[in-house]
Amino acid sequence: MSSEYTMEDFFKLHRDLPREGPGEPADVAWAASLLDLPARAQIADVGCGSGGDVAALLETAELAQVTALDQVPHFVQAVRDAWRGNDRVTVLKADMATIANQYDLIWCAGAVYFMGVERALTAWRKALRPRGAIAFSQACWFTDVRSDRAQAYWAREYPQMTDEAGLGAQIAAAGYEIVGQRRLSDAAWQAYFDPIAERSDALRAQADEGLLNVLDEAEEEAACWNAHRHEYGYVLSVVRPR
């Protein structure tokens, strides 16, 4: 995060948004279609953010139980408020590096980069039931020919980003096999960007310098992707231990 704004500034934009990264219910449905989940599947939503995938995860099995976890207190509270009284959803303030219990599916939308692919998959292996799987989305380069703008953006945000072949190598190095992979759609990106743009428009007129820096960064994130979406995006991988 930039030193030119505070976490308070950041969350003025991001608090209570439907999503904290690209994704759509179709991603969850596609991942589940590759797996033979039991009727009472135990599912962990790791780094759940504002809980944008909880409803779709509940639909993956008839009696699926979803444990949503995040370290950010207000995300945890928002998900608890949204699913209060639903006995199929448990919400925890927890570290994604130390997942407790065992699951048929560990879902992680766009948060693996906090740990790194190999480290995350290695750490989560012990939290998988027999025949359990992990589904995660990760930013990747799609081409070797890259614009200066896209390279500069990702050099700031995630300098370790690799291409799809590199992602496959990281998965293999952690001792997993790929069940399926696909790139996230444009609709998945718009599901993230559109609410941010609407919130940004409402905040900008009376924003102070710190908040303006947050809004400018968010605007550049969306503009860069719109201009260079053929160069990079998110890849959704469904993997199992070998």
Interatomic CA distance for residues 7 and 54, integer angstroms:
25
CA atoms within 13 A on the CB side of 182: 13
Question: Average pLDDT of 144-148?
Answer: 97
The percent of residues above 90 in pLDDT, for the chain, comes to: 95
Interatomic CA distance for residues 44 and 108, integer angstroms:
8
Q: Of 10, 15, 163, nearest to 76 (Cα)? A: 15
pLDDT higher than threshold 50 for residue 112: yes
pTM value is: 0.95
Question: Average pLDDT of 94-116?
Answer: 95
Interatomic CA distance for residues 174 and 168, integer angstroms:
10
* Confidence category of residue 2, pLDDT binned at 50, 70, 90: very low
- Tokens representing 149? 């703008």
H helix runs in the chain, sequence order: 7-14, 25-33, 54-58, 73-83, 117-124, 148-157, 164-173, 186-204, 209-228
Contact 54, 75 (CB under 8 A): no
* pLDDT value of position 4: 83
Evaluate whether the domain defined by 19-140+159-197+232-241 bears CATH number 3.40.640.10.
no
According to DSSP, residue 185 is labeled P
- Tokens representing 212? 């303006």
pLDDT higher than threshold 90 for residue 116: yes
Pairing of strands 89-93, 103-109: unpaired
Question: Average pLDDT of 143-170?
Answer: 97
Q: Of 149, 114, 113, nearest to 221 (Cα)? A: 149
The tens digit of pLDDT for each residue in 42-101 reads 999 999 999 999 999 999 999 999 999 999 999 999 999 999 999 999 999 999 999 989
* pLDDT value of position 16: 87
* Confidence category of residue 5, pLDDT binned at 50, 70, 90: confident
pLDDT higher than threshold 60 for residue 1: no
Summary mean pLDDT of the chain: 96
